Amino acid sequence: MPSYAVTLLSGGLDSTTVAVQALQETGNLSAITFHYGQSHSKEVDCAQEIAGVLGIQHQLLDISFLGQVAWYSALTNPDRFPVPVDGSLGTMGASIPITYVPLRNTIFLSLAAAYLESQVLYALEIDGVSPQEVKALVYMAPNAIDYSGYPDCRPEYFYKMTEALAYGSKLWTEYKIPIQVKTPIIELSKMEIVKLGLRLKAPLELTWSCYQGGAVPCGSCDSCLLRAKGFEEAGVSDPALTRSRGG
């Protein structure tokens, strides 16, 4: 059964690991990266490099207007809402942090699904592919750390979004092909994601997780702290740190 798949590739550890897994599981894989005015825009450059190394089609979409509507976030409005630093790992997830971008995953998922639906409809209606032989997949990389603090990273959110995408799409309404949202690392810790990425031979040395946009990771934002903890618990050094520091 031919599958058409889109993976959301931010350039970070999690989405890169998922992209490699998607590449091994599906055919006709494309990657989408969103430039939404995020403070850590260096990850966009990393995503482009990663897609090139993996040899997958890559779409970079400029949706920088998002910062004008989803402005209540440290990632879209860092001058007004500074990125938290030196936080306690033990308290992360206790409340929704200021790094939450209002409805970001809803917007990302809708755009990725629209891109995927266009590909599949073309295959059905122009190329003559039989609908009985088609699967439509969107891969995303939320994980256990994310969904403890971000409402749009939780399993129940993706369950409901999958329903909404079905009822709002021609693929389901006319062809009964659901747009399946795949979240293969949603139950994994950061340590488990590191181990999975290494096992899949994902190019982790090319990834960027820091919320800041400097030449090297800051080492003190929540994302850096969680990444460091994951590599430490996995018992391996972070290859991206060695690369960014010229080691």
CATH number, domain containing residue 50: 3.40.50.620
pLDDT at 84: 84
- Separation between Cα atoms, residue 73 and residue 76, nearest integer Å: 5
- Positions in the chain short of pLDDT 70: 1, 39-40, 86-94, 146-148, 213, 243-247
Percent helix / strand / coil, the chain, rounded to 5: 45, 10, 40
pLDDT at 40: 64
pLDDT at 51: 98
pLDDT at 54: 98
Instruction: Kindly report whether the global pTM for this prediction surpasses the value 0.75.
Output: yes
Task: Tell me the pairing of strands 3-8 and 29-35.
Answer: parallel
Count: domains in the chain: 1
Tokens of 71: 């402005």
Tokens of 162: 């999958």
Query: E strands of 163-206, at which residues?
Result: 179-182
| 8: three-class secondary structure by DSSP | strand
CA dihedral sign of residues 78, 225, 143, 92:
negative
Domain range spanning residue 137?
A: 3-244
- Separation between Cα atoms, residue 242 and residue 223, nearest integer Å: 17
pLDDT at 198: 98
